Chains A and B, each alone.
Chain A
């Protein structure tokens, strides 16, 4: 593949995929340790009605209304989950299950009842996005990266995801200690004056922002996979949170790159005519990584060791 082809066809989807994967994996580490991994799943589903409503109001599929609608839906969902959990005294997992199923179903109904045939908004798109369509038409080769005019034609998803990644990374870096302490021992964290409830909410909101920003480009499957698979696989590689987060970034990046390449060329290598969904393949690779670490990871037998002591 020539430089020109690579830069215009593959560079943007690859980078977008990497930013999506890492931006979801970073908060995913804490969600998994807090036994809240399902919340990523819930968020990525509940944003659908928000996006559809935003489209119905504005009549166009554009970035900001969709992000706002999705964010509003995510906030509604988070509040509803807390309400069901507290008012109904129902276990958190069940509360999430109820809310996210109801809201996703509502989104599908809205989508089918409204006329979205003219635009790129349908159930398939919602599930696995369209990473391959992020083509940089103005690119003529590597030199385009320094060409202001060509950069203006860059698909909007890439800078949006890059910005999201930077925001998520800054949040995790800045609140590293409170996140770590309150995830391990919330009672202690409160006694030293940490406001653990707003912090926990902020973590969920950051995860929601990552999920919503990623949703448009890559759909919900990859988001669910990236919240859980890289952090869960990373946990099996190390016994230190610092190292776990580093491993999760590595696994997320690896899944994004290998998944994209396998989706584009894998079927051709084994004799099929068409490539497959990149988002689906990235999620599959991340699942395979988790499977591999579950079999070969150095710290997969922790439970067996501790039960002796």
Chain B
């Protein structure tokens, strides 16, 4: 790291931005087998904003997040969280995996899933006390799931499962929230509930990064946008970055004229 700083000493402003960024990724490269899924990606997340990671299917959106968090082992690349290595900042990060990545038939209740978010406080053998339970219950209330605490998780709808995952992230009381496709396959009421919670987090000074697939809501929901298609395409405020050029570049002409037209009024209006 010190070597790298020395070689980049002409660019100290960028270094300062990177050091204060809640999530700064450099040269991230991940491969499943022969073909790289993510190639030499740089990303610098702006603090206190909501950032959407967008790109076509298989562009490496989820992979980038997982590699940054150390869930996947990258071929190359470094990640800093608030200027420090990820493993020293675990308590400031809350990660919400894709809903479909877990087995919802697992024998456990809604409240137990939320309590998993308190594991760093509880440790191996710490007793779950009433204060922990009431905190978990309060997190469920924030996502409108307070009446489902003792339900088995398999009995929930997809949207309800997604809200339980968000409640677990809230229980972690993090400063950086990373969500993988939080709106995938959820009902409209859930989408509204989730976006309100995320905006509240942002307004409280937290940083939110979400892998997002619905281009029509990017301008409405997010402050910043990060385009990826295996490589980094563009990054910046929605107002200046979410434009036709970057969309066509990221989606490689896969968006038809009708789709582009549908997007245009959203970000101009």
Contacts and interface: CB of A to CB of B under 8 A. Distances in A.
Interface of A: 33, 89, 174-175, 177-178, 180-181, 183-185, 187-188, 190-193, 235, 238-241, 243-244, 302-303, 305-306, 309
B124 A187 contact: no
Contact of B95 (A191, A239, A244): A191
Nearest to A303: B105
Contacts of A177: 119, 122, 124-125
Contacts of B112: 240
Contacts of A33: 103, 106-107
B231 to A, nearest CB: 24
Contacts of A306: 104-105, 154-155
Interface stretch (B8-16, B42-50, B65-73, B250-258): B65-73
Contacts of B160: 309
Contact of B90 (A178, A183, A191): A191
A267 to B, nearest CB: 38
Interface in B100-153: 101-109, 112-113, 116, 119-120, 122, 124-125, 152
A294 to B, nearest CB: 15
Interface of B: 33, 66, 69-71, 87, 90, 93-95, 97, 101-109, 112-113, 116, 119-120, 122, 124-125, 152, 154-158, 160, 168, 172
Contacts of B122: 177
B205 to A, nearest CB: 21
B207 to A, nearest CB: 15
A238 B106 CA distance: 11
Sort A-B residue pairs by CB-CB distance and give the 8 closest, nearest first: A239-B152, A191-B95, A309-B157, A193-B90, A187-B97, A184-B106, A185-B102, A306-B154
Contact of B87 (A89, A185, A193): A193
Given A180-B108, A181-B116, A309-B158, 5 more contacts: A33-B107, A185-B102, A191-B90, A192-B120, A238-B107
A190 B120 contact: no
A6 B220 CA distance: 77
* Interface residues of B, dominant DSSP: mixed
B101 A302 contact: no
Contacts of A240: 107-109, 112, 152
A306 B155 CA distance: 5
B37 to A, nearest CB: 15
Contact of A188 (B95, B104, B107, B156): B95
Nearest to B106: A184
A62 B156 CA distance: 54
Given A177-B124, A309-B157, A187 B116 contact: no
A235 B71 CA distance: 29
Contacts of A193: 87, 90, 120
27 contacts: A177-B119, A177-B122, A177-B124, A177-B125, A180-B108, A184-B102, A184-B103, A184-B106, A184-B108, A184-B113, A185-B101, A187-B66, A187-B95, A188-B116, A191-B93, A191-B94, A192-B90, A192-B120, A193-B87, A239-B107, A240-B108, A240-B112, A241-B108, A305-B155, A306-B154, A309-B158, A309-B160
Contacts of B107: 33, 235, 238-241, 243-244
Contact of A190 (B70, B101, B119, B152): B70
B111 to A, nearest CB: 11
Contact of B105 (A192, A243, A244, A302): A302
A305 B154 contact: yes
A79 to B, nearest CB: 19
Given A187-B71, A191-B93, A174 B104 contact: no
Given A174-B124, A239-B109, A241-B108, A190 B69 contact: yes
B258 to A, nearest CB: 33
In the complex, which of the residues A175, A241, A244 has the most CB atoms of chain B within 10 Å of its own CB atom? A241
Contacts of B155: 305-306, 309
Nearest to A239: B152
Nearest to B126: A177
A181 B97 CA distance: 13
A180 B97 CA distance: 17
A183 B106 contact: yes
B119 A302 contact: no
A184 B69 CA distance: 18
